Structures are given as structure tokens and as C-alpha cells.
Amino acid sequence: MQSRIDLNLLVALDVLLEERSVTGAAARLHLSGPAMSRTLGRIRRAVGDPVLVRSGRALVPTPRALAIHAEVHELVVRARDLFEGGAEFDPASLEGSFALQAEEGTVTAIGGRLLRRVAAEAPGLTLRFLAEGSQDTHALRRDAVDLELGVIDARTPETRVEPLLDDAIVSTVRPGHPLGARLAELDGWLEADHLVFSRRGRSTGPIDEALAALGRTRRTIGTAPSVTAALAIAMDTDLVAFSTARLQRPLVDRLGLVSHPIPLELPPLRFALAWHARYDNDPAHAWLRRQVRDVVAEVAGA
């Protein structure tokens, strides 16, 4: 007897693993709660695995579910492309969510404009901004993230990387800092205490390497896990924090801080957009990339 497979279960499984909630999945698929629960039961029988299990008040995916999620999602995307490839793309028809991973300061700088832009063209779409982790988790490959925005260091053969702009690190301090314009001179800059942004808690980096080449050192008295945290601390202290000259300038202005060029020769920060090759020809994903690209250009004045 030929096995009968309901391909709608793939769509339901994809949504369940993304939402990790029967109620959330039911809302996205326009089903009742009981109907979604019955669908989850059918998925469990088809896969031979619980798929989602209770952990406290939340549902968490099983190892088997995590292992197949990326493949399930790709199958759903391919099937959608197959049946909708000839239709004209309309962002207003989009429903669901996209996940964009970026450093917190960058999210703060571009998030408002991007959300307004997306809401105007695709009101059924939700953007989920995710913070950068302390190490590469291959989120694009696992399909946990749709886009990465930042300085892209780790690349895999299936990662697409599109350069967006070159930026520079600048010193950022409170108005009326006692060293004032002397911060633009190396000797004055080195008189100040520094606060470093590092997701990993590291207190040294390219700036220290450039100083070492000159036989100089600086005084770093602390680290902060994000640019926004460092800048917030700088507002109430005489510490020198750091931001980027272009992309994070709106955040610096909003906080009423003042920036000075760093008196060192440093390599540029090359901001880029990265995504998985599976989405190269996906019209919705290409549309989102355009929105991010345009907003970055607006914010950075490019």
C-alpha cells in the first residue's frame, strides 16, 4: 500500500518550531487551538518524535526537531516558490516574521526607521531583532536568523555577504568632558580612562595593537557588553567610550554625547549584510534586504 503523506504537516511543523507555541502557531495558521493540538499530534506520529515538549511554562524542541528544522523550513520555502513563483510579489501579502541579528547599538540606530518602513509596506510582518552572541552559532545555517548585519568575520561557503559601508571607530564622551578637544590628540586621549565594548568581556583589541606599535598603552578600567551600555555609562562619567562615526551616529546624537576621531591609524570597520544562499531568489527575503540596505544608507548618510 502506498503511504499517504499530508504535506500540510510540513507547513505546520515549520510554524510550530518557529513559534514554539501551539497558540502562536494556531494564530499564524488561522486555526483553533484544539485543531492545532490535533495537528501537533499527527506530526508527532508521522515523525516518530514528540517534537515539542513542556519545560516549565514553555514548549521546547527536542534534539530531533532541532536537527530537522532547517531542512523542513527549506522544503516549505521551496514549495512556496514552486507554486507562487509566477505570481507578482506583493509585500502587503506577507505574514509571519523575519529575524535580524545585529549589535545592540546598530539596532538602536536603525531599528525605528526599519520598523516604520516595513510596517508601511508589509503590515502583516513582524521583525524580530536578535542580539549578537559571544560566539558564532551558525545561526544563518540553522535558519535561526534571516539576516545578519555587522562586521561579518565568520563565513561559510553557503553564506552570502553584501558590503554595505565602511565606518570608523570614534571616541565618544559626555558634553563638557574635562579633556575636551585634547581627546583628538594622542597624549590627551591617553590621559583619559577608557571603557571598552566587548561581547566577550575582552579589554584589548585593534586599538591596543596600534598603540603597541607606537610603544604606548592606554588605561582601560572596564568593559561593557554592548555599545549602548557603554554610552549610557559615559553619560554619567568622564570615561571614554566608543561608537561608530556613521552608522551609530543617530544613537550618539540622541544621547547628547560628543564624538572625537581616535588619534591613531586604524583599519575601517566594514559593515555588511549576510544571509544563507537558500534565500538568494526568495522575493520576500530580497525585499527585506532592500529595506535594510536603504535604511542603512539613510542613517549613515551614504
The CB density around residue 134, as the number of other CB atoms within 10 Å, is 11
Classify residue 3: in a domain, yes or no. no
Classify residue 1: in a domain, yes or no. no
Distance CA 252, CA 95 (A): 34
Task: Output the average pLDDT for the chain.
Answer: 87
Instruction: Give me the pLDDT at residue 136, please.
Output: 55
197 beta partners? 224
Classify residue 2: in a domain, yes or no. no
DSSP H or E segment with residue 131: strand 125-131
Last residue of a domain, one of 59, 84, 109: 84
Q: Grade residue 62 by pLDDT with cuts at 50, 70 and 90.
A: very high
Residue 184 and residue 36 in one domain:
no
As given in the structure block, the three cell numbers for residue 165 are: 559601508
For residue 241, pLDDT over 90 is answered with yes
Classify residue 50: in a domain, yes or no. yes
Instruction: Give me the pLDDT at residue 158, please.
Output: 78
For residue 257, pLDDT over 50 is answered with yes
> What is the pLDDT averaged over residues 67-85?
75
Phi, psi angle pair for 119, to nearest 5°: -65, -35
Sign of the alpha-carbon torsion through 116, 117, 118, 124: positive
Residue 218 and residue 284 in one domain:
no
Quick: pLDDT tens for 115-174. 999 999 999 999 999 887 655 556 776 667 899 999 887 667 778 899 999 999 999 999
Q: What's the number of domains the chain is made of?
A: 3
Residue 13 and residue 143 in one domain:
no
DSSP H or E segment with residue 151: strand 147-151
Nearest to 151 by CA among 101, 222, 111: 101
Residue 224 and residue 77 in one domain:
no
82 alpha-carbon distance from chain centroid: 29
Most confident of 5-9, 63-67, 191-195: 191-195
Distance CA 279, CA 70 (A): 12
Distance CA 250, CA 80 (A): 39
Last residue of a domain, one of 64, 84, 104: 84
Residue 96 and residue 245 in one domain:
no
Residue 157 and residue 216 in one domain:
no
* The model's pTM: 0.69
Residue span of the structural domain in which 287 resides: 91-167+270-300
The CB density around residue 135, as the number of other CB atoms within 10 Å, is 8
Residue 112 and residue 245 in one domain:
no
Residue 192 and residue 117 in one domain:
no
For residue 3, pLDDT over 50 is answered with no
In CATH, what number is assigned to the domain containing residue 78? 1.10.10.10
Distance CA 53, CA 51 (A): 7
DSSP secondary-structure letter at 238? S
Classify residue 22: in a domain, yes or no. yes
Distance CA 247, CA 98 (A): 22
Q: Are 191 and 182 in contact (CB under 8 A)?
A: yes
Distance CA 207, CA 265 (A): 9
For residue 2, pLDDT over 80 is answered with no
% pLDDT > 90, the chain:
55
For residue 81, pLDDT over 70 is answered with no
Residue 157 and residue 201 in one domain:
no
Q: Which residues contact 146 (CB under 8 A, 6 or more apart)?
A: 98, 99, 100, 275, 279, 285, 288
As given in the structure block, the three cell numbers for residue 6 are: 499530508
More confident of the two residues 81 and 212: 212
The CB density around residue 83, as the number of other CB atoms within 10 Å, is 9
> What is the pLDDT averaged over residues 262-291?
90
Residue 263 and residue 188 in one domain:
yes
Classify residue 253: in a domain, yes or no. yes
% pLDDT > 70, the chain:
92
Classify residue 130: in a domain, yes or no. yes
Instruction: Give me the pLDDT at residue 67, please.
Output: 87
Instruction: Give me the pLDDT at residue 4, please.
Output: 52
Quick: pLDDT tens for 27-39. 878 888 899 999 9
Instruction: Give me the pLDDT at residue 155, please.
Output: 66
Residue 117 and residue 189 in one domain:
no
Quick: pLDDT tens for 283-301. 899 999 999 999 999 998 8
In CATH, what number is assigned to the domain containing residue 235? 3.40.190.10
> What is the pLDDT averaged over residues 217-234?
94
Residue 277 and residue 142 in one domain:
yes
Nearest to 200 by CA among 243, 136, 145: 136
Q: Grade residue 182 by pLDDT with cuts at 50, 70 and 90.
A: very high
Phi, psi angle pair for 223, to nearest 5°: -125, 155
